[in-house]
Structure 1
Amino acid sequence: MRINLKIESIGSYSRLQKFLFPLIVLVFGAVSFWPDVAFDLPYGQHQWRQCDAYSMALNYFQEDAGFFEPSMHFQHGSGKGSGRSVGEFTGTYWLNAQVWKFSGLKPYTMRWTHMSLWLLGALSLFAMGRNWFGALKSAFVTAFVSASPLIAFYAGSYLVNPAALGLVFLSWWLAWQLMAFDRSKSKGRWSMEVLLFLCLSFSVLLRPTMALGWIPIAIWALRRGNLVLWFPRFALPLAIAVGWVFWSKSVNDANGSIYFCTTIRPLWDSQNPAIIWRAFCENLLPEWYHEYVRYVFGFCALMLAVFRVFLASVRVQDEREKKLELQLPLLIGLMVLGLAIYFLLWFENLDAHDYYLIEFQLLLPLLLWRCIQVLEYIRNSNLRWYRGIWTLLIIALSFQLLEAHLRTRMKHTSPTGWWSDVILTHRDREVWSWFHGDQERRFADLEQVKSAMRAHGIQRDERIISVPDPSSNITLSLLDQKGFTDLYDENFVGDERIELYVQKGASYLVCNSRTWYEERIKSPWLQRPIIDFGGMIVFDLSNSESPLSSDAGQR
């Protein structure tokens, strides 16, 4: 009877393994608020950058532009401006534009594209860990990496950063498989080589700093004595990525665009490093992992490091580790060094750009795998500590999943409920409640205004001034209208600023704030409203009462 029970137990565990990753996907879908946002336009955290991506995809689609003709709705640039500007690789934007030619405009496919690439990376992470440590432990690692609020929010957004990370994890799995294959016996080797080339290339095209994720592959190849053979696999994707960066800079220089960051912004150039550091600690780190989770994980890692030093059975376990050849301590050290350099080189962007911390997720699976290794070392010698540390880690993961869900939901809808009141800070809840209220007041009628503008004969290529809007493309892309916003040209204010943009071809002004309008109600530029719908007013600038000065835009 015992034997039968044992066999049944093993069979049940085997069946459970098959459903672990689908279960992770379901949990991640709930954590990321996916059922509620899967079909949405850009919204929430860094709507600014999400709308940049959407703007480029929309222009590819509407203008039937070639791949090397990216442009934004925002028309700032030399002369009268052209919108020609580029930063990150536009491959997924162009691809979605081609899909829309058959399906019609479906903006949300950008969310699905980026989510799919992230999930492929998560599956690769799970597959690697399952072969090394078992399915349950690998599920823990995959879930922990996915439980970051950064991943929960951005994986299914219009930004490409988690997609690039997913491609790095897929590259790890492909590289490990290739290293394990016998050349003479491998039938699918060349297809895997092509896939690896594509993953390595697209990961650094989408996000050049994801080259940090190549460190594990390089070390694994070095330990097997074939790093020289792997050099061409790294060199060509890196050359393509560098070529894209130089091409982007040439496009931006030719068109006078200063918008995209295609260079470093190091610590030593910072005017206020203390302010940036404070913003990083107070605003960005909580978006990576909750403070409590970081403390618990740090405590567990410290305890495991102490155990690793003093365990009597280290030699036996070292032999097992040597056979696997993961080289995790070395990888962790090199990755920490690489991320420290990354932190210093892009320090000035760490005041508000939380998605820059997605690179930190390259380190996390290495740390978690190492923790699992050390836990296996102490399992036989100290079962109590083994169970205690695992209990702490599982509690931390459970809490982090809940916190990531609440934080992600907060960015899409006003935070309510007891759990939000307890776990989320009052400051965060107030900020996001204000954000959603502001969006509702200003943009609730945006689609109707867009339709009314088309009904008035206003074409998408006719330039507008959209105010107030400190971003480049939020209102412009959502209205699908070329033009200007409050971004840049700070030396021009009031009517002088409107005149500047009229000189550059603006024919209409779209105001999304009654307060802004009431403060300037006597302006001669604002005497001919042609659309007044809810919170938005459209003014005809071509037939306004304001004369143009001859020196507009010359100062």
Structure 2
Amino acid sequence: MAGRRTLAHLGRRSGWHPGPRSSLVLFLVLMSLLVVFLGLHRTMRLPMGGHHAWRQADCLSLTAGYQEAGSTFHEGHMHYLGNDGSGASMSDFPLLYWGVGHLWRTTGRSELSYRLLVFVIFLIGQLSLFLAVRRVLQDGVLAAWIAAFLITSPMVAYYANNFLMNMPALSLVLVGWYALVRAVQGQSRGWWVAMLGSFVLAGLMKPTAALSLLGGLGVAFLAGTRWRNTLLGDPPVRPRPVGLLLVAIGCLLPIMAWYVYADHYNASHASGVFLTGISPAWELDRQAIGRVFEGIRVHLRNDYFRPALYPLFALALVAVAGLHRELPRWSLVLLGTLIAGALTIMLLFFPAWEDHDYYSLDQVFLAPLLLTMAALAVRRRWPGMLGRAWVQLVLLALLVHSADHTRRRLIDRHEGWRSRPYDVQFAALMEIGPWLDKHGVYDRARVILLPDRSFNIGLYRMDRKGWSDF
């Protein structure tokens, strides 16, 4: 029972420890201040554009396809008509695209409503993270710090109200982790089901977001073997092999089935818009690998977190390793499995890491997980340390420093030189529809848009189906 007591009962408290209601208010105030400081309330009203406008336009174009009468859930279409002239293309499980598309049938096309929905899902994920950490640490102040550090990632803040499916997938992962904490502490079957449901839906939205599901199933498999006490100490579950096999099949089969179907759907329409397979590192030459590592270096400096936070993460890793006896053994195995899984994902989609920061978005939960485990170990060894004033001041300084870095990075992403070509060249396309109608080019007509090296940026903005010079 030592592992379960570790999560539920931490021991003597120290410092300022507000009650559940006060700590929730603290978290909400801190999040509100960060949202305003980072300008997320302003970017909510911006049209599609800025950093990674290409991928944003693909998501919005699929959503617009579901706005059309007669569209079906399992058949996605976009403005770029592709090789066979149908515009048929699929990738992520289209629950969000389908839902917003049907909403647009009533409200008309509104990117604000899309952004707002994604932002609400993001806030639910942040709240779940805070509640999970608070339950583990029994400390609302530390939980607020850890949750706040996540939004000071420029990558997280940028996609918090954006159009990509990666952020809803990450948020569902965080909801799943909250359900996991509740399940471990209370041994409630309902929370286990909620955890699995959240992780499965996250994996449907983004297959890489199934990392938590795979890690959990791996630990559960070890818990069902004769070596469980040696490997895991006192695991929170001891599943029967047949039951675990049925759970694994029930969780993984929908994810695998959907992406097999999406790959078949794209192949049948000769669509190459979305990557539904892998692109492993071992298929690259030395120069290409070097470019990817350079891209990762740039992401580490500008996009993932403020560089000043990396020493904190390194210190947390040292604390977890050095104080591992203070932590449940199964949690260490789970953390190691998740880190190994994240590295495997990187190797399987290696070229994407050069330019696409969002490929790592649904694995960023590892940062708060590592901080939480380190804080838990430190509080068990030295109960009063993390409540000291100087520690809180250091955390505050890091948070302010990181938030300022993220604010400047968001300005660059929305208003920097990378955004200007699209904004200047294609802004008029958002108003060209009436002019085309006036000259007899109605929305049923097919157009060729030059120059546009993307699939859907220009076509979506002018709301006409056709081809670009991709």
> How many angstroms apart in 2 are the aligned matches of 1:138 and 1:279?
32
Matches within 5 A, 1:104-183: 104-133=108-137, 134-181=139-186
1:301 maps to a residue whose letter is A
1:32 to partner: Cα distance: 4.5
Q: 1:91 aligns with which of 89, 95, 119?
A: 95
> How many angstroms apart in 2 are the aligned matches of 1:194 and 1:330?
22
2:180 maps to a residue whose letter is A
The two structures have a TM-score, normalised by structure 2, of: 0.85
1:91 to partner: Cα distance: 1.1
Question: Does 2:236 correspond to 1:224?
Answer: yes
Q: 1:374 aligns with which of 373, 377, 383?
A: 377
Runs (5+) with no aligned partner, structure 1: 1-8, 184-188, 414-431, 488-555
Do the aligned residues in 2 keep the contact of 1:218 with 1:227 (CA within 8 Å)?
Answer: no
- The aligned counterpart of 1:474 is 457
1:333 to partner: Cα distance: 1.4
Do the aligned residues in 2 keep the contact of 1:328 with 1:366 (CA within 8 Å)?
Answer: no
Matches within 5 A, 1:143-542: 143-181=148-186, 195-215=194-214, 217-218=216-217, 222=223, 223-228=235-240, 229=243, 231-271=245-285, 272-283=288-299, 286-298=302-314, 300-301=315-316, 304=319, 308=323, 318=326, 321=327, 325=328, 327-379=330-382, 383=385, 391-413=393-415, 432=416, 434-487=417-470
> How many angstroms apart in 1 are the aligned matches of 2:171 and 2:71?
28
- The aligned counterpart of 1:34 is 40
Do the aligned residues in 2 keep the contact of 1:48 with 1:473 (CA within 8 Å)?
Answer: yes
RMSD between aligned residues: 2.8
Runs (5+) with no aligned partner, structure 2: 1-14, 224-234
1:360 maps to a residue whose letter is Q
1:224 to partner: Cα distance: 2.5
Question: Does 2:32 correspond to 1:16?
Answer: no
Do the aligned residues in 2 keep the contact of 1:304 with 1:374 (CA within 8 Å)?
Answer: yes
1:441 to partner: Cα distance: 2.7
1:177 maps to a residue whose letter is R
1:450 maps to a residue whose letter is G
* Greater Rg by CA: 1
Paired residues in the alignment total 438
1:226 to partner: Cα distance: 2.9
> How many angstroms apart in 1 are the aligned matches of 2:357 and 2:17?
44
Per mean C-alpha deviation after superposition, the further-off stretch among 224-233 and 355-364 is: 224-233
Do the aligned residues in 1 keep the contact of 2:459 with 2:465 (CA within 8 Å)?
Answer: yes
1:463 to partner: Cα distance: 1.3
Which structure exhibits the higher relative contact order, with contacts defined as CA atoms closer than 8 Å and separated by 6 or more residues?
Answer: 2
1:163 to partner: Cα distance: 0.8
> How many angstroms apart in 1 are the aligned matches of 2:294 and 2:142?
36
Listed one character per residue, the Cα deviations across residues 528-547 of structure 1 (whole Å, up to 9, x for unaligned) are xxxxxxxxxxxxxxxxxxxx
> How many angstroms apart in 1 are the aligned matches of 2:183 and 2:374?
26
1:197 to partner: Cα distance: 5.0
State the secondary structure of the residue aligned to 2:449.
strand
Per mean C-alpha deviation after superposition, the further-off stretch among 205-214 and 436-445 is: 436-445
1:12 to partner: Cα distance: 6.8
Do the aligned residues in 2 keep the contact of 1:378 with 1:386 (CA within 8 Å)?
Answer: no
Alpha-carbon distance change, 75 to 23 in structure 1, aligned in 2, over 3 angstroms: same
> How many angstroms apart in 2 are the aligned matches of 1:87 and 1:154?
19
> How many angstroms apart in 2 are the aligned matches of 1:345 and 1:15?
44
1:101 maps to a residue whose letter is R
Listed one character per residue, the Cα deviations across residues 143-188 of structure 1 (whole Å, up to 9, x for unaligned) are 11222111100121000101101101111222333344466xxxxx
1:288 maps to a residue whose letter is Y
> How many angstroms apart in 2 are the aligned matches of 1:243 and 1:375?
43
Per mean C-alpha deviation after superposition, the further-off stretch among 473-482 and 372-381 is: 372-381
1:209 to partner: Cα distance: 1.1
Listed one character per residue, the Cα deviations across residues 184-240 of structure 1 (whole Å, up to 9, x for unaligned) are xxxxx65x5664454233201110111112256447753123334455444323211
2:148 maps to a residue whose letter is A
1:473 maps to a residue whose letter is N
1:467 to partner: Cα distance: 1.6
Listed one character per residue, the Cα deviations across residues 125-146 of structure 1 (whole Å, up to 9, x for unaligned) are 1111111211111111111122
- The aligned counterpart of 2:10 is none
1:308 maps to a residue whose letter is L
Listed one character per residue, the Cα deviations across residues 9-32 of structure 1 (whole Å, up to 9, x for unaligned) are 989766531302322431342255
State the secondary structure of the residue aligned to 2:402.
helix
Listed one character per residue, the Cα deviations across residues 428-473 of structure 1 (whole Å, up to 9, x for unaligned) are xxxx2x2344344313322332221122232223111112111100
Do the aligned residues in 1 keep the contact of 2:136 with 2:181 (CA within 8 Å)?
Answer: no
Do the aligned residues in 2 keep the contact of 1:200 with 1:234 (CA within 8 Å)?
Answer: no
Percent same amino acid among aligned pairs? 24
- The aligned counterpart of 2:6 is none
Alpha-carbon distance change, 77 to 32 in structure 1, aligned in 2, over 3 angstroms: farther
Do the aligned residues in 2 keep the contact of 1:296 with 1:396 (CA within 8 Å)?
Answer: no
Do the aligned residues in 1 keep the contact of 2:209 with 2:363 (CA within 8 Å)?
Answer: no
1:398 to partner: Cα distance: 2.1
Do the aligned residues in 1 keep the contact of 2:169 with 2:203 (CA within 8 Å)?
Answer: yes
1:277 to partner: Cα distance: 1.3
